[in-house]
Structure 1
Amino acid sequence: MDLRILQTFVVAAKFENFRQTAEALFIAQPTVTQHIRLLEKELGIELFDRVGKFVKLTPAGKRFLPHATALLAGWQAGMEDLLAWQQGYSENLHIAVSPVIARSSLPGLIRHYTKRYPEVDISIRIADSLEIGRLVQSGQVDLGLSRMVPGEFQLDAHLIQTDPVVFAVPLNGGDIEAPLPDWEQELTGNLLLTHNHPGYWDDLLLALRQRGLSFRTMTVTHVDITKRFIEEGLGVSFLPRSAIGRELFENRFIELETPGLVLPQAASYLVVSKTGCSQTAKQMIEILASLYPPLPLIRSM
């Protein structure tokens, strides 16, 4: 079977419009129609119902779609593997990484790994920490680097490092030599941007409320957006110091001490399957252990 015909079918199923399918594939609309007719003839069943300018998958089309998608994905995977082999790669390592780790410690880690194992083709998938356990457990990646202990079974979580959480406020063009503002006044006078990092926000908010402080909150679920909002003067937040190192160095943020309030520690975790790891994953674990000894086991499920 011509894989171009399968691709036409999959794209047509997405748009349910042959004109849009033609535009997406950079082919003529009659070619789309011809591809679908050829596929229907080969399968001996109609895949689309024609309704005016639009088309809709028949029950047979809906049943065949996941198989067509899998065939195309398998072909693409095979092509990528062959290309990697031609380029000198003999093995693969798939990693899921939280955005915070990807922007802080991951570059150094990858530098160590590629220097020692240049023959390994590394694929990095940026994912929220909540997703990383699922990706490791399902086998979509070899290991995960997460900012939280996963909830999935059959996974081990090892502590890599801890990271102090600090109270970050914008400099606002002020004199860096001037006395620092009072942290409670900054908190009560601005929006507190919350839940941008997993693990510590619920306990931290409870501790702030127990001090009798009155403040407004706004949930912003990504660290990068939180930092942008702080720069724009839209609020303040408690963030891992590693996530705002550049902003502190460039005097765009101020880190305020919080007398009387004990701030939490954020942590980074290595997430691996209990059922075994690939050889490339074991190599990465060895490098992590050399950089961040002793990788204590935090939770085994």
Structure 2
Amino acid sequence: MIVDPLKTFVTVAEQKNFSRAAEELFLSQPSVSLQIRNLENELGAKLINRSPKHLELTQSGEILYGLAKQILSLYDKAKQEINQLTNTVTGSLKVGASYTIGEYILPFALTEFAAQYPNVDIDASIANTVEITQAVRSNHLDLALIEGEVHHSDLEIQSLMDDEIILVVPNQHPLARLPIVTAEQLQDQVWILRESGSGTRAFSDKLIRDWNIHVKKSHIFGSSQAVKQAVMAGLGIALVSSWIVRKELTANELTAIRIKGKRLIRSFSIIRPRNHEMSMAMSVFLENLRSHDLLTGLIDSNPSVIG
């Protein structure tokens, strides 16, 4: 079918690597190379300039890439409209999430969705908020669930649910003996932070800046799991989503401390390209996510961990 080599070409163009494209498509690399070569023969033009360390589209390749994306989108739309006649939800769903949501919420949402709609192919990606947002803006993802704030006119942004941020410290830390701390007591502490681009990092930076907190030293980690483990190991203190430390707090492996006069709340949001027509799979997934008992159940299982 003509869409198969076009899909292969688009994947190679986006991955900028034949081997990675082959892995994503579950094909052998020779098969990918053959499909590209057949496309070039059919069109009578070289599409890709390839060297051992570099791959880039030719001018002809750039033209085909843009049109191939449209063709594949129209083909998916045709399949969806045909399947609507039998009330069957099919197609693909490329969904992304920032780390906290991706590790603690998205798997439950996708498991239930996949059970209800087994004919939908799901491709899930997890990265920090900035990376996931860019993937949606460049149409590599259909939609995403993110933490933190984004402001882009080309995105439609909808609130999904609230998330409580809490201060966690090692059990042996001097602050662990205090039920409530003030901003003054957070001065000159060693902090464990996420990397730049993380929604949690942006939240922590803003609080530290707004409260004029002097950071004695900071250690930066690239995932929420690593931050949590660093605090448990006694390396420092951190602001984290309550979702990631429920089990550790229940097992008394960490201490959560209330900050005087403050309950720290941020929003989890759904983002998708503005003015892009939604596929049936996207529409149903969003409807389930926003209105289904799934979120209610998850929220009920994650009450405020510090009272």
TM-score by length of 1: 0.59
1:213-224 alignment, distance < 5 Å: 215-224=216-225
Alignment match, 2:209: 206
1:169 aligns with 2:172: no
**1:269 corresponding residue in structure 2:** 269
Instruction: Give yes or no for the alignment of 1:245 onto 2:250.
Output: no
Counterparts of 1:188 and 1:252, CA distance in 2: 24
Letter in structure 1 aligned against 2:237 = V
Runs of 4+ in 1 over 4 A off after TM superposition: 38-49, 54-59, 61-68, 182-187
CA distance in structure 2 between the aligned counterparts of 1:149 and 1:119, rounded to whole angstroms: 33
Structure 2 residues not aligned, in runs of 5+:
18-27, 298-307
Report the counterpart of residue 129 of structure 1 in structure 2. 129
Offset of residue 245 of structure 1: 1.4
Is the 1:155–1:272 Cα contact (8 Å) retained in structure 2? yes
Distance 1:171 1:140, change over 3 A: same
CA gap 1:99/1:120 in 2 versus in 1, 3 angstroms: farther
Contact 2:89 2:117 in 1 (8 A): no
1:220-277 superposed Cα distances (whole Å, 9 cap, x missing partner): 453222123223332221111112112222322211233x362521321122444243
| Contact 1:96/1:141 (8 A) holds in 2 | yes
1:111-161 deviation per Cα after TM superposition (whole angstroms, max 9, x unaligned): 44344x233425222232223444444443332211123322241322422
Q: Which amino acid aligns with 1:202?
A: D
User: In structure 2, how many angstroms separate the alpha carbons of the residues matched to 1:180 and 1:55?
Assistant: 52
Q: Secondary structure at the match of 1:156?
A: strand
Gap change, CA 1:221 and 1:45, over 3 Å in 2: closer
Counterparts of 1:33-112 in structure 2, within 5 Å, are 90-92=89-91, 93-112=93-112
In the alignment, which residue of structure 2 is the partner of 1:157? 158
Higher mean displacement: 242-251 or 216-225? 216-225
Residues 67/208 of structure 1: CA separation in 2 closer, same or farther (3 Å cut): same
In the alignment, which residue of structure 2 is the partner of 1:287? 292
Asked if the contact 1:204–1:264 (Cα under 8 Å) also holds between the matched residues in 2, the reply is no
Q: Distance in 1 between matches of 2:110 and 2:158?
A: 20
Query: Any conservation in 2 of the 1:46–1:58 contact (CA below 8 Å)?
Result: no
Give the superposed CA RMSD.
Answer: 5.4
Residues 91, 284 of structure 1: CA spacing in aligned structure 2 closer, same or farther, 3 A cutoff? Answer: farther
Identity of aligned residues (%): 16
Amino acid at match of 2:106: L
Once residues 105 and 248 of structure 2 are traced to their aligned partners in structure 1, the CA distance between those partners, rounded to angstroms, is 16
Q: Supply the distance in 2 between the matched residues of 1:159 and 1:47 (Cα, whole angstroms).
A: 42
Q: Which amino acid aligns with 2:292?
A: I
What whole-Å deviation, never above 9, does each CA across 1:32-68 have from its counterpart, x for those lacking one?
Answer: 9xx99x999999899999xxxx899899x78659969
SS of aligned partner of 1:103: helix
Q: Is the 8 A contact 2:162 2:265 kept in 1?
A: no
Structure with greater Cα Rg: 1
Give the gaps of 5 or more residues in structure 1. Answer: 16-24, 293-301
Instruction: Return the alpha-carbon distance in structure 2 between the equivalents of residues 58 and 242 of structure 1.
Output: 42
- Distance in 1, Cα, partners of 2:143 & 2:40: 42
1:190 corresponds to which residue?
A: 190
* Structure 1 residue aligned with 2:177: 181
Q: C-alpha separation between the residues in 2 aligned to 1:284 and 1:150?
A: 20
User: What TM-score, normalized by structure 2, do the two folds share?
Assistant: 0.58
